[in-house]
Amino acid sequence: MREECGVVGIIQFNPEPHPVPSALRIYYALYALQHRGQESAGIAVHDGKHPEAIKGMGLVPEVFNKDDLVTLKGNVGIGHVRYSTSGDSRIENCQPFIVNYKSGSVSLAHNGNLVNSHDLRSQLEAEGHVFVANSDTEVIAHLLVKELLKHGPVEAVRKVMKQLNGSYSLAIMIDDLLMAVRDPLGFKPLCIGTIDSGFVVASESVAIDTLNGKLVRDVKPGELVIFRNGDVESYQLFDEKYSAHCVFEYVYFARPDSIIDGQLVYKVRERIGERLAREHPVDADMVSPVPDSGITSAIGFSKESKIDYEESLMKNRYIGRTFILPGQAMRETAVRLKMNTIGENIKGKKVILVDDSIVRGTTSRRIIDMVRNAGASEVHARIGSPPIVAPCYLGIDMASRDELIAAHKTIPGVEAVINADSLGYLSIDGLVESIGLDRDDLCMGCLTSAYPVEIPGENVCQRRQLKLHEF
């Protein structure tokens, strides 16, 4: 399972007493969001006259250096870290996207995925719009420019949102005006915070914490927030009875120390582990996580089961971007490079391995085989999510239905493939209760094969009737 993207926006209204420039603050915030995307990174800053940007392939510290950052002058800016869910992995798709037009410029950073991106792009190309990339983010930028030629910022954003089908959390600069937008169902997280000299908007609250800021609140689904003249303006452009927050933000994507839609992710994962222990008890000697995303759930499992928590795997935390090595032997080496067993902790033990999810099953098999080869007498897999039976169309580069092991195998079948003595998935009810939000406010399309928006060829879990606010 690949990670998503992270967005940041910062505006400093009174920067003179504070020597830290906006570009450097964005850099720090992106560093805090590095877990959301390791493919590329970018920062765009507006100096009151025009935007300037630095973008590149790689991790945040690989793309930016101090000399580059000091050249980005301006009190307002946005940033992005990317793992592609739409568009190829190349420099042209790096964000933020900047589109210049006769009245100014639009800079945009996007976390999410549009279901109708291809149709919208075809319409724009027929009207003469020229694209330099193949990302759906550029489609949003062109749509916004088109509407800004006819309307003010609020009405232009409303007109664009009316055309979009899918997930999007956006940090936008229209010239030096900073804006934040969350789609009407709130698929992807987005929050607002204060810093000593202004405001910050970010995909996760950890970015605000890194800047020594204070989390104020989440951007509401369907809300446009504008930061102007030292104030925060809110426009609820759409009202929906229910939301559709992505469950995998809580299971896997978000950092455990983030607060998303009022829920501390750490506590959610701890409750997941506790619930797993109640749903799938097993006689064992130790509870061990698959690091890093299984750690908190393993702690919860250990507390509930009264079985000792002990590490059996150690992760190499200095592995950067994922790389592909040819041949089966080299792939096995790559797994060991990322993770190694602690043989003395394992030998002769019945081990419960707690992980966040199983997608294809190949990685789970390799890890379980490593633990067995290190001397474990039994290995029991406990998974902090229900079986993934369908693809995600809304911002997670997960896998096709054919590649998802749970889509075509029973639980005993998956158990056999991954070579576990037993396998226990968290139930859907257990996941919902662990998250602490109403089931109708969660997107579980990958777990149920029913989606909260219209997707060709797929089922809709319930008809969502968007209420458009007129201005």
Which residues are designated catalytic? 5
Q: Nearest CA to 137 among 164, 162, 177?
A: 164
Strand partners, 202: 8, 191
Question: Measured between alpha carbons, how far is 151 from 161 in angstroms, rounded to an integer?
Answer: 14
DSSP state of 232: E
What are the b/e assignments for 304-336, b being 16+ CB within 10 Å? bbebebbbbbeeeeeeeeeeeeeeeeeeeebee
The distance from CA 143 to its chain's CA centroid, rounded to whole angstroms, is 24
Q: What angle do CA 174, 180, 182 make, to 5 degrees?
A: 130
Question: Measured between alpha carbons, how far is 14 from 305 in angstroms, rounded to an integer?
Answer: 53
The H or E element spanning position 216 is strand 214-218
Helical residues (DSSP H) of 310-450, grouped into ranges: 328-338, 343-346, 362-373, 405-408, 411-418, 428-435, 445-448
Question: Measured between alpha carbons, how far is 413 from 408 in angstroms, rounded to an integer?
Answer: 9
CB 380 within 8 A of CB 353: yes
Question: Measured between alpha carbons, how far is 24 from 341 in angstroms, rounded to an integer?
Answer: 39
**Residue-level length of the chain:** 471
CB 192 within 8 A of CB 216: yes
Backbone angles phi, psi at 470, to 5 degrees: -90, 145
